[in-house]
């Protein structure tokens, strides 16, 4: 399939979850490269500040307060993009959240809520975007942010791992359906390794200590670069960071070894400090407005 993806400074780009971490890094970089932005998350204060920053510095952006887990909200985001800019060229499904704790400890409500964001958010965003990207005539891109655990797992984040496997399955199926229909809409899965963002701070935490990601961690700007590269140059899937490539390969070629290696991460996912906000942002918006994460002592 031949895809025609415009240069970024000629694109209207929708980003979900741009209020922190990878999403915020992607929004800032997309603005710097001249894209028109549609910013969607639950975090109204951060969205207002980000929109103001972009527009005050010569860019063009709008924001929509929305929950990716609700199809009607994603359709409202698409409608706002069309009303303001007349089209959608790239839609980036980035919003996500995690749960730290054993699978048997998590409540059914928490597990379903995580899937509402991580999996159904991708489904809702992709299906809301499709008719509008299709209407361009020249096609465009849908970019879904998965994880290295779309192919692997990490203990104590089992439901997060399951949701990212589901994201990969949906992304692959959507890609094949569009290929069969010969539609020029490129569908890309981004698979970063551990990234230095506020992600652990935002997680629902069942542990008795403050959660963290294992090292090494890459900079979120590295993931943002990969996302925006996929918006202009077609790619099927992109693994970001050396550990993503190594870990996914190990799970494919030596799954028993990968199982054993994963057990070593059980005790490496927390600081020696009590939990700060165990509820996280599973049910409430996160208003950190930061690209990078901070250790507990920097947040107290």
* pTM check: above 0.95: yes
The count of other CB atoms within 10 Å of the CB of residue 9 is 11
Domains of the chain: 8-298 (3.40.50.720)
Mean pLDDT of the chain: 96
Query: What pLDDT, on a 0 to 100 scale, did the predictor assign at position 182?
Result: 95
Distance in angstroms (rounded) separating the CA atoms of residues 127 and 71: 9
Which of 3, 100, 160, 265 is catalytic? The answer is 160
Q: How far apart are CA 215 and CA 153, in angstroms?
A: 16
pLDDT per residue as tens digits for the range 156-204: 999 999 999 999 999 999 999 999 999 999 999 999 999 999 999 999 9
**Confidence (pLDDT) at 23:** 98
Name the nearest CA neighbour of 113 among 93, 91, 96: 96
Stretches where the chain sits below pLDDT 50 are none
Burial 55-72 (b: 16+ CB within 10 A, else e): eeeebbbbbbbbbbbeee
Residue 199 catalytic?
A: no
């Amino acid at each position: 399939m031949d895809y025609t993806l415009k240069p970024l400074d000629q694109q209207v780009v929708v980003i979900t979850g741009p209020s922190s971490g990878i999403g915020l890094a992607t929004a800032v970089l997309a603005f710097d490269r001249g894209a028109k932005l549609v910013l969607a998350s639950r975090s109204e204060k951060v969205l207002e500040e980000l929109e103001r920053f972009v527009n005050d510095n010569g860019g063009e952006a709008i924001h929509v307060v929305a929950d990716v887990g609700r199809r009607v909200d994603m359709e409202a985001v698409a409608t706002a993009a069309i009303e303001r800019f007349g089209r959608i060229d790239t839609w980036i499904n980035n919003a996500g959240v995690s749960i730290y704790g054993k699978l048997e400890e998590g409540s059914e409500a928490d597990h379903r809520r995580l899937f509402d964001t991580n999996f159904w958010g991708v489904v809702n965003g992709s299906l809301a975007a499709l008719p509008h990207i299709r209407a361009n005539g020249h096609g465009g891109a849908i970019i879904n942010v998965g994880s290295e655990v779309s192919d692997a797992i990490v203990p104590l984040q089992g439901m997060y791992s399951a949701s990212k496997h589901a994201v990969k399955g949906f992304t692959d199926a959507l890609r094949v359906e569009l290929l069969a229909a010969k539609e020029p809409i490129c569908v890309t899965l981004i698979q970063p390794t551990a990234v230095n963002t506020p992600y652990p701070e935002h997680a629902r935490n069942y542990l008795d200590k403050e959660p963290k990601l294992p090292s090494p961690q890459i900079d979120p700007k590295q993931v943002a670069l990969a996302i925006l590269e996929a918006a202009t140059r077609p790619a099927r899937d992109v693994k970001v960071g050396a550990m993503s490539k190594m870990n996914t390969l190990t799970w494919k070629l030596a799954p028993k070894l990968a199982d054993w290696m994963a057990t070593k991460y059980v005790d490496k996912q927390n600081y020696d400090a009590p939990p700060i906000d165990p509820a996280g942002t599973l049910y409430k918006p996160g208003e950190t407005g930061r690209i990078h994460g901070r250790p507990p002592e920097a947040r107290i």
